[in-house]
Structure 1
Amino acid sequence: MSTQDFTGLNICCKFTELFSDLEDINEDEQKQKIEEMNGLLEEMDKEEFELVFTKELFDKINKMIEEKKISMDNTLVLLKRVAYWIELKNVLNLCFYISSLRGRFEKMIIEEEKKIDEKNEKLLTDLFECYAMILYNMIPGNLLVICLPYLLKAASNKEENEEAKEEVEMALLALNSIGRYEKVLEEVYVMEFKEIIKYHQEHHNLTRLAYQSAWECLLNRFQKDKSLEEVIVNELHFAREAIKELEELKERVDWKKKKEEEKGKETKTLTIIRRWIDTLGIFFHFCSSRNEEYSVLVESIVQTFRAAKDINREIGKECCDIFKSLAVNKAVEIEDLIESGAVGLILEEILRPTMDDEMTCNYLIIL
């Protein structure tokens, strides 16, 4: 067993041990344990998530709620953190879908929504955030119609305290998760995302992750509605904002130190960089216009690729896909691809002895 495998096994065992302890302690002690568990969640990779978050674990949580061994408040604190890291690490886990806990959540959502008197909006929002991010693209249409207004209301909160910022971030992550797959984000919701982005540009009220998520929510709709291109490019200045975010994020990573560390683990800053590159991929895949800011943006993408290529190959593959979209859609001039360093980078990569077939094929298409 390698050192990495042993470390991963230790993380999984420690998490399972902490989870087992929740049954026999009071609510305040449970909160402390959940804080420890959140630290372990941050350390886990996709494989470790799969090992820990089984149908049996979700069923166990449901049973603990039923037997009053864990409060719903603490359950939601735990599951919101699970959902958060599932979304950031891009984990696809189907175990929640087939668990009894999913049924409990759906019943709670429907019952709360049916109340004639004042509804518990905080409870509904928390339930939706867990439900949307853990279930990924398997949310029934009737529940989507219920949940979207609550998530949008939470995402539009303009308070600037840390707790409010965290809640806005969670709501935007949940909306982003839904928006990748569903057609329900109609024009009224598009205007909400536009206002969230514009307000941030003026007041800087969002976290970096929340801002990236807001853009991706809007771009998910752009895939279906090309009329949004004018708003995205010329009114909200997507390219300019993406350049700024990428440059500031890259400065937060000690690339030399990161290269010497374990390559399999991804810091939160690297995660946000990867998500921005993914967002740029969506944009350039569907973009048909040209803009003078694109050439500077391509240069920033090239620099990101060079910095991350030996640390995070996933970022490299996403950058490669962007270059292919640029070449196919002709969103920039050939001279811009040359001057930005994209062509030189592609030629260097083709000569790498360890290049995989998919990326080599993409590079040849670009050339």
Structure 2
Amino acid sequence: MIFEEKKKEEEMNEKFLTDLCECFALLDEGFITFELHFICVPCLLKAASDKEETEEVQKDVEMALLALCCIEENQGIGEEQFLNEIKEIIRHHQKHRNLTQLAYQSAWQFMMDRFFRDTKLEEVLNELQFVRETAKELDALMKCVDWKKEKGEKRRKDTKEELIVLRWLQKFEYFFRMRELWDEEYVGLLSSFVGLFRASRDNYRGISKLCIESLDFSASNRAVKVEDLLKGGTIDAVLQVILRPILDDEITFENCSVTA
């Protein structure tokens, strides 16, 4: 259906083609062919670039960005051609704050998934102030979540904010392990992870586990100074995990290596 609609050229219904691409990306969730990649990605980026500030358009933009995140990188394609489009989407949001929290996270996710092998990524992340923006988003999301749970109360279904936090955290393993330059903003980001870990450690093990893993990766990065870990509260957070009284605790078991 995508190919057939694309063949219509001047008579093509762009909205219908966008809907088809979204459905395909969200249902397939994997690698797509070279030909489909060149139809779907530009189509979805165009939809995500719509700057009209209406509720309907905002939903369309969010869906387009979510779908883009589901399309895996195709190494046979020069991905740099998509870099300017996604940068402009992020820049526009930073100026006008027009995206939802989920759409904004999705835009960053698409960029990092696409260009993590590119030597330009470090420069682009600095240009778009990735560290400051991420810390700001995590702090805002943390305030939207009720982390408390009464004794004996069963875990409720995840809220949208909690799921967005998880999506952010899942992108940081490579980033913290490989990052070569650290400054005060990165110390602030570590502080955000520490705050999130402390808020979630009792009632949300999935988030607290990802937080401590990211802090573990930062501690193993030789570019990170001990004073950065102390200032950001990383060492205190890790010690809290290691000194937990429950010996068979999953997080404690998997992160005991940090003490070394």
Same fold (TM over 0.5): yes
Q: Tell me the distance in 2 between the aligned counterparts of 1:167 and 1:214.
A: 14
Unmatched segments (≥5 aa) in structure 2:
none
Where does residue 242 of structure 1 map in the other structure?
134
Where does residue 337 of structure 1 map in the other structure?
229
Q: How many residues align?
A: 257
1:295 aligned to 181, 187, 204, which one?
187
Q: Tell me the distance in 1 between the aligned counterparts of 2:122 and 2:61.
A: 25
Where does residue 137 of structure 1 map in the other structure?
30
Q: Given that residues 198 and 236 in structure 1 are in contact (C-alpha distance below 8 angstroms), is that contact kept between their aligned partners in structure 2?
A: yes
Where does residue 191 of structure 1 map in the other structure?
84
Local SS of the residue matching 2:120: helix
> TM-score, normalised on structure 2?
0.90
Where does residue 263 of structure 1 map in the other structure?
155
1:124 aligned to 7, 14, 17, which one?
17
Where does residue 274 of structure 1 map in the other structure?
166
Confirm or deny that 1:226 pairs with 2:80: no
| Structure 1 residues 213 and 121, CA gap change in structure 2 (3 angstroms) | same
Letter of the 1:330 partner, please give it. Answer: R
> TM-score, normalised on structure 1?
0.65
Q: Tell me the distance in 2 between the aligned counterparts of 1:260 and 1:171.
A: 40
2:209 aligned to 317, 338, 347, which one?
317
Confirm or deny that 1:355 pairs with 2:249: yes
Q: Tell me the distance in 2 between the aligned counterparts of 1:249 and 1:185.
A: 34
Q: Given that residues 290 and 331 in structure 1 are in contact (C-alpha distance below 8 angstroms), is that contact kept between their aligned partners in structure 2?
A: yes
Confirm or deny that 1:216 pairs with 2:109: yes
1:130-209 → structure 2 map (5 Å cutoff): 130-179=23-72, 181-183=73-75, 184=77, 186-209=79-102
Q: Which structure's residues are more often helix, by fraction?
A: 1
Q: Tell me the distance in 2 between the aligned counterparts of 1:260 and 1:121.
A: 52
Q: Given that residues 212 and 276 in structure 1 are in contact (C-alpha distance below 8 angstroms), is that contact kept between their aligned partners in structure 2?
A: yes
Q: Tell me the distance in 2 between the aligned counterparts of 1:111 and 1:266.
A: 39
- How far off is 1:225 after superposition? 0.5
Local SS of the residue matching 2:171: helix
Letter of the 1:161 partner, please give it. Answer: T
| Structure 1 residues 204 and 219, CA gap change in structure 2 (3 angstroms) | same
Unmatched segments (≥5 aa) in structure 1:
1-107
